[in-house]
Amino acid sequence: MKLDELISIISNLTGSAVNQSMLAESLGITRQTVSNRIKNESEVTVSELKRVEEFFGVKFFNNESALPCEMAYIDYYSDVFASCGNGSIVFSTEKTKLPVAVSMISGYSKNKLYSMINASGNSMSPTIDHGDKLIVEHWNGNQIQDNKIYVFCYNNEFFVKRLSKNFDEIIIKSDNPEYRTRTVCGKAAADLILIGKIVATVKQLD
């Protein structure tokens, strides 16, 4: 769940308009920090949700299990993906079901297929950190949405990057400025196998 989505949810739950300053107070940070995190599409951590719950008197969690009340149970692949080859994607058979708050998943629908994988490396920092869990909405033939984060397979390797499409080329960008932007075009672009769009990031606990 992103901070601007959280503001909307709190407003709906409390019946009162919540602004960035109020959210900043609940989190113990400055309003400017909230503003910057919204611009960077920063995700809310579980510990932050608990602070918000206490401050505003809303319920994201039930008392017995400390889990969000409205849950989706998503396949979690602890080893990310097992293999990729010859244009086919094979998920590992080693998977578990993890509960995730529906409100944390952007554009959630029961009719969509989701999986959860692990983030590795720092190329998408600070948006995505090493060890974060990523919820993937599986690709269903839709066009690439410019500047959204996707997981894809290229040359038998899996990547999580921002993608943009320009005619017959795909632009691949990292959020970490230490990594250069790449472009694949023509046949190379056709060889890029889209797995899905990242619709939520489950941050590690502070």
3-56 and 71-202 share one fold? no
Task: Give the CATH architecture of domain 3-56.
Answer: Orthogonal Bundle (1.10)
Amino acid at 151: V
Interval 174-194 mean pLDDT: 89
Residue 87's pLDDT is: 37
- Helix or strand run (H / E) with residue 168: none
Domain ranges of the chain: 3-56, 71-202
Percent of the chain whose predicted confidence (pLDDT) is above 70: 83
pLDDT reading at 167 higher than 90: no
pLDDT at 63: 44
Per-position DSSP letters for 98-166, written without gaps between them: EEEEGGGSTT--TTS-EEEEE--SSTTTTTS-TT-EEEEEE--SPPPPTTEEEEEEETTEEEEEEEEEE
Positive or negative, the Cα torsion across 104, 109, 115, 120?
Answer: negative
pLDDT at 25 over 90: yes
6-10, 22-26, 193-197: lowest mean pLDDT where? 6-10
Q: How far apart are the first and last CA of the chain?
A: 16
Residue 91 pLDDT: 56
Domain 71-202 grouped into CATH 2.10.109.10: yes
